[in-house]
Structure 1
Amino acid sequence: MQFLLTLRDWMRPMLALTRKELTQLWRDRVLLLFLVYAFTVDIYLAGSGVTLQVSHARTVISNADHGVAARELTGRLVEPTFRVDAQAHTQAQALAELDRGGAMLALDIPPRFSADLAAGRQTTIGLWADTSNSVQGFMAASYITRVVSRFGIETGLSQALGQGAGVAAGSLPTVDNRIRAWYNPNQDDAWFMSLSQLLNIITVFAILLPAAAAVREKERGTVEQLLVSPLSPVQILLPKVLAMGGAILLAILLSLGFVLWPIFDVPCRGSLGLFFGLSALYVFSTAGLGLFIATVARNQAQVGMLTILLLAPMLFLSGAWTPPEAMPPWLAHAMVISPLHHFMDIAFGVMLKGQTAAALLRPIATLSVIGCLLFGFGLYRFRRQFG
């Protein structure tokens, strides 16, 4: 009974401070508007305007043959993957179009291309790609290479069957290629982009809001009043995390209800309660960085700059843009210290894969350890600065 009374007395000022933080956030209309914008409009723009697939790649063709095979090959470069804006008379004109940025791909078909194929002779075509945007250029070149390769295979097979090569159709080896895309069968980029942007925005505000709330006390001179009150550092800092974490969870619900579900039709195959519970764990884990920033920054402008400084490596080490397998070994091992990397596994596992807490035990445990360390470090810095 005495423990419950002590806990009640310990929680009462924390609840009052939490209510005070929520009131201050509600009065800060600029920050509140930024919060709503980030969790709605910004996520919509990321999901609808960013794609990882090649679409309408501008292509210029220099066709010096105009034979049947050449027309068949160029006829396969169709939208929405390719967009043939112009025909060049010579290879030099096609390369000039590529150099001035008028096209991403330049395809050169030499004379007698169709005649060489009909006679069974080896022939070549030229392909140039603008890889100033390396990702898009490489993907566009891969797409058109696949089209040309399939055309070559089909042409060779038809010649083997129809030109008296003595090959029976049933004796040729065949490949039964059956592709099964799991969790996102339509390979809809909007699912990945909108959900990834949601996680990035959660990270930004999980660092920014607690730091801004703590620095606000410095700017207004009220931190000294809190320090002389009969409150421990935990009772001073934890309400800021609780209040801002609650605001972030409400913003997540706003984003799911108004953007991800109705507009992009992102599924939630797992437990929604588990997703919000683990999101709260992630907000707590990342808030330790915000408390650390609050001990270093002297004003709100410095809070924003330091948030960007910490956010950049977290995003690069999250695995959203580059998988660990494609990174140098030392950098792939460094991803374990990024809370966002583990939250990515958790969020995509719950939302798209329908995984349970037991299946996500490893990232949950790692995120919990990181959260305790970061919050403990922020609390230690606060005690050192004001103790």
Structure 2
Amino acid sequence: MRSLGNVLWLTLKELRVLRADPVLLLLVVYTFTIAVYTVATGVKTEVRNAAIAVVDEDRSELSRAVTAALLPPLFQPPAAIAPAEVTPALDAGRFVFVLQLPPRFESDLLASRPVDLGLDVDATAMAQAGNGAAYIQQIVLATIGERLGTAAPPIALAVRLRFNPNGLPEWFTSVMQVMNSTLILSIILPGAAMLREREHGTLEHLLAMPVTPLEILLAKIGANALVIVAAATLSLLLVVRGLLAVPIAGSVPLFVLGTIVFQVSVAALGVLLATLTTSTGQFGLLALPVFILMMLLSGSMTPLESMPGWLQAMVQVLPTTQFVAFAQSVLFRGADFALVAPRLGVLCLLGLLFFGAAYRRLRHTLAE
């Protein structure tokens, strides 16, 4: 009971220190509100409002129908340009796509003669260029088939989008940003709190008190866990579900449970990194590549399936990889506890490993 009391008082001390630091409070609020909203609504790789031009050398009813079929929100209203303007327009970055319809376009198709269309693409934005070229091809073929009465293929493929029926990127990006924010702050706040004790000279005061390294570590992690988990939950409910209108399919309490386990393991990693450095600047330089690497390899930005097989196996030991898979199952697919229990088990195991390493390193540092 005495040990629990020490942890409680140390936790309250950490919360008061955090409350007295307006910069850290502003960082927490910004990370889970403005950053989540702006990333979800502003960072897009799919085709939206792309600038397109059409070189119509046929001036037929079919060529006008193809031009009219290039509609928002995928594309801006097509601009009509001359063939000599194609290269200068692309060089100047005025258009991403330029579709060229040759002379006798409609008459050649009606006479069953081969027709070559040209599509110039500014491929500096690779994802948008590839997807947009595929959309334009589908639109052109569909318009030609509709206007000329081309027979439909004998097989029709019905596509159903599950978990995101409208294909809105905000649904995925907003949730992933909440998890990335949780990762970043879970590393920075506990590590900064430990280094602040050393830089302000209050670490010696703690050592003079009847507290143990374990109690200090639990207080550092526990205080920041309260703040970060509460902020992540409010961000999920108010920003993601409220402001961005992203439906939450699964259990929010189950997500909070997984967030707590994840936060404890990553916070222990933050304390471990702090014990390896002597200043806040060194800690920032060390923590930056760590959480960037963990984000890039977690599956929150790029699919794990696109990675080499050996790398897919290696990243399974990262807490972020397990947490992203857990959160996607709960929030998007409505998974229950039984389905995500293996992920939680791995997170608990990784948390114990990081916590044990941080505790051992903290004892060694305090002894020095």
TM-score (norm 2): 0.94
Q: Would you say 1:129 and 2:121 are equivalent positions?
A: yes
1:262 alignment partner, SS class: helix
| In structure 1, distance between residues paired with 2:96 and 2:190 | 46
1:1-387 matches, within 5 Å, as: 8-90=1-83, 92-154=84-146, 158=149, 174-387=154-367
| Greater Cα offset, 296-305 or 367-376 | 296-305
Which digits, 9 at most, give the CA deviation of each residue in 1:40-67, with x for residues without a partner? 1111111222234211111111111111
**How has the CA–CA distance of structure 1 residues 159 and 346 changed in structure 2, closer, same or farther, with 3 Å as cutoff?**
closer
**How has the CA–CA distance of structure 1 residues 189 and 198 changed in structure 2, closer, same or farther, with 3 Å as cutoff?**
same
State the match for 1:167 in structure 2: none
| In structure 2, distance between residues paired with 1:263 and 1:380 | 44
| In structure 2, distance between residues paired with 1:159 and 1:317 | 46
Residues 18 and 240, structure 1, Cα contact 8 Å, conserved in 2: yes
Amino acid at match of 2:140: V
Which digits, 9 at most, give the CA deviation of each residue in 1:218-276, with x for residues without a partner? 10122233234433221111101000000112212331343112211222222221111
Residues 59 and 86, structure 1, Cα contact 8 Å, conserved in 2: yes
Residues 40 and 254, structure 1, Cα contact 8 Å, conserved in 2: no
Please tell me whether Structure 1 or Structure 2 has the larger radius of gyration of its CA atoms.
Answer: 1
1:174 alignment partner, SS class: coil
| In structure 2, distance between residues paired with 1:107 and 1:244 | 55
Which digits, 9 at most, give the CA deviation of each residue in 1:128-177, with x for residues without a partner? 11111111111111211221233354467x256xxxxxxxxxxx753333
TM-score (norm 1): 0.90
| In structure 1, distance between residues paired with 2:350 and 2:362 | 18
**How has the CA–CA distance of structure 1 residues 95 and 300 changed in structure 2, closer, same or farther, with 3 Å as cutoff?**
same
| In structure 2, distance between residues paired with 1:155 and 1:267 | 40
Q: Which runs of 5+ in 2 are unaligned?
A: none
What percentage of residue pairs aligned between the two structures are identical? Answer: 34
> How far apart are residue 23 of structure 1 and its match?
0.6
1:354 alignment partner, SS class: coil
| In structure 2, distance between residues paired with 1:182 and 1:85 | 32
Number of residue-to-residue matches in the alignment:
367
Residues 339 and 370, structure 1, Cα contact 8 Å, conserved in 2: yes
| In structure 2, distance between residues paired with 1:153 and 1:373 | 61
Residues 317 and 334, structure 1, Cα contact 8 Å, conserved in 2: no
> How far apart are residue 85 of structure 1 and its match?
4.8
